[in-house]
Amino acid sequence: MPDDPAAPAARRPLRYLALGDSYTIGEGVAAGGAWPMQLARALRGEGVPLQDPEVIATTGWTTDELDAAVSAASPARDFDLASLLIGVNNQYRGRDVEEYARQFQALLDRAIGFAGGAPGRTFVLSIPDWGVTPFAARSGRDLDAIARELDAFNAIAAKLGAGRGVAFVDITPLSRARGAEPSMLAGDGLHPSAAMYTLWMERALPVARQLLQHAS
């Protein structure tokens, strides 16, 4: 049978680059449980042909370590979508916000570049508040200070993103509201469970859907 000329052309597979740390790779959860993997599956379920993400992330990375890893990996510059979630280890190690601002700006510009130079195909997730977790409660650290410092880091990320027209997905309130619940935690009492990542994914889904609306 000849092809139906009225049938819509198949959309090409869309490529996604996810940059980050343990929160991007899903430390402590089963393969496929991290939020970027869940996001790609959810969009495919809606008919968006988004491939599983290419991930450049490792537990413990700070902004400068992620930047060095991106340089080493040298990914192609033709992704249809890019995400960036980084900074918790800067805060954990006591690094200052001015350094974070400089390094985050450079990473954000690189993420935009990998998304074809399009800020409208790039989004940032806020840093969750690990201070609500059992791990933090056992650490002896000042939990209020953790929250204040993370708020300062997230304010920088949001401001820099807005200045470049990059979407900002704020998942920090979710982490504070439910991050101490056993079902929302991996076995280490620190990192999120797949259930928590689902909540993050649901927050990011409409943003990613909109960013990919005109990709073809």
pLDDT for 216: 55
Instruction: Provide CATH code, domain 16-210.
Output: 3.40.50.1110
Measured distance CA(176)–CA(39) in Å, rounded: 21
Identify residue 182 by its one-letter amino acid code.
Answer: P
For residue 8, pLDDT beyond 80: no
> What does the buried/exposed string (b/e) look like for 3-37 if buried means 16 or more CB atoms within 10 Å of the residue's CB?
eeeeeeeeeeebbbbbbbbbbbbbbbbeeebbbbb
pLDDT for 142: 97
CB 166 within 8 A of CB 122: yes
The residue to which tokens 């304010």 are assigned = 155
Mean of the pLDDT values across residues 116-123?
96
The residue to which tokens 């889904």 are assigned = 205
CB 162 within 8 A of CB 136: no
Whether the pTM exceeds 0.85: the reply is: yes
SS (H, E, C) 73-94: HCCCCCCCEEEECCCHHHHHCC
Q: Which of 5-19, 24-38, 106-120 has the lowest mean pLDDT?
A: 5-19
Q: Cα separations (Å) of 73 from 51, 55, 59, 86?
A: 19, 10, 17, 17
CA dihedral 210, 214, 160, 38 (to 10 degrees): 50
CB 179 within 8 A of CB 115: no
CB 212 within 8 A of CB 50: yes
Mean of the pLDDT values across residues 205-209?
98
- The structure tokens listed for 165 are 């027209």
Pick from 19, 17, 42: which is nearest to 197 by CA? Answer: 42
Pick from 211, 207, 61: which is nearest to 127 by CA? Answer: 61
Report domain extents, the chain. Answer: 16-210
pLDDT for 6: 43
